[in-house]
């Protein structure tokens, strides 16, 4: 029997999304590291849906005008550590040399953080798009980073970068799952964290906004919003 290739690929992608949701639900229940889960919140404090009108408001168009785009009001600091059972754990991620990073390493510029996975179908669209966007906007006021989740190995990430010709994004790895579980907000509808999730941080290390899904940062409405945020940070 001959199997239509397009149908097979579509079926596999749907299965992957179902598996992804099961993993997210399981991870939301445990929040990654057992003891840490007891003190971690499913939704970031101060999370509110963005307002789309008013003088001085960000230019929200396209998908950015939907409830998937979120603002933190008032701005609150991105966590650099978490307390659990009498211990303090740093909220950090790592480069390929094993050097730890925290949000403090990115102070002084607006930082776009993308949390992603190599087996996330939407990330296959989002990460290459951000790679092309990075040289257009990066500079003294803006930095773009992509952090792969714990379930991917460094080899997985390197193969993804090679396959999709990612040239402008440093390889960064959330190998302890703390960055994703403590920094990324829960999805505004489903109540669990998902990939890809984008978090925007101001030069002082405070939350600006977040987006769950693929909004199209590289599109005119995405670039316009980022430029507004950079100019008003």
For residues 101 and 26, the model is more confident at: 101
pLDDT-derived band at 226, boundaries 50, 70, 90: very high
What are the structural domains, with CATH classification, of the chain?
5-232 (3.40.30.10)
Phi, psi of 198 (to 5 degrees): -105, 135
Rounded-to-integer distance, Cα 72 and Cα 52, Å: 14
Rounded-to-integer distance, Cα 96 and Cα 152, Å: 13
Rounded-to-integer distance, Cα 231 and Cα 2, Å: 56
Element (H, E) at 178: helix 178-183
Rounded-to-integer distance, Cα 231 and Cα 165, Å: 30
- Structure confidence at residue 24 (pLDDT): 36
Segment 198-222 shows an average pLDDT of: 95
pLDDT-derived band at 37, boundaries 50, 70, 90: very low
Q: Is the separation of the CB atoms in 149 and 195 below 8 Å?
A: yes
Rounded-to-integer distance, Cα 196 and Cα 184, Å: 10
In sequence order, the β-bridge partners of residue 89 are 82
- Structure confidence at residue 145 (pLDDT): 98
pLDDT-derived band at 34, boundaries 50, 70, 90: very low
Omega cis (within 30) before 196 = yes
Range among 31-35, 55-59, 65-69, 71-75 with highest mean pLDDT value: 65-69
pLDDT-derived band at 17, boundaries 50, 70, 90: very low
């Amino acid at each position: 029997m001959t199997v239509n290739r397009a149908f097979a690929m579509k079926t596999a992608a749907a299965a992957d999304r179902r598996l992804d949701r099961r993993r997210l639900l399981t991870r939301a229940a445990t929040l990654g590291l057992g003891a840490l889960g007891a003190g971690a919140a499913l939704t970031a404090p101060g999370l509110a849906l963005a307002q789309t009108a008013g003088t001085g408001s960000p230019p929200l168009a396209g998908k950015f005008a939907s409830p998937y785009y979120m603002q933190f009001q008032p701005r609150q600091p991105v966590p650099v550590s978490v307390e659990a059972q009498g211990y303090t754990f740093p909220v950090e991620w790592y480069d390929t040399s094993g050097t730890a990073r925290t949000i403090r390493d990115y102070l002084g510029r607006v930082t776009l953080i993308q949390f992603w996975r190599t087996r996330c179908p939407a990330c296959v669209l989002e990460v290459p798009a951000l790679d092309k966007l990075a040289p257009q906007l990066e500079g003294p006021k803006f930095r773009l980073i992509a952090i792969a989740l714990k379930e991917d190995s460094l080899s997985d990430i390197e193969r993804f970068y090679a396959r999709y010709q990612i040239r402008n994004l440093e390889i960064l790895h959330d190998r302890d799952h703390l960055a994703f579980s403590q920094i990324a907000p829960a999805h505004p509808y489903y109540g669990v964290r998902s990939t890809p999730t984008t978090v925007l941080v101001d030069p002082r290390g405070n939350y600006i906004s977040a987006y769950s899904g693929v909004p199209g940062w590289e599109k005119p409405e995405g670039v316009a919003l980022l430029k507004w945020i950079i100019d008003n940070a």
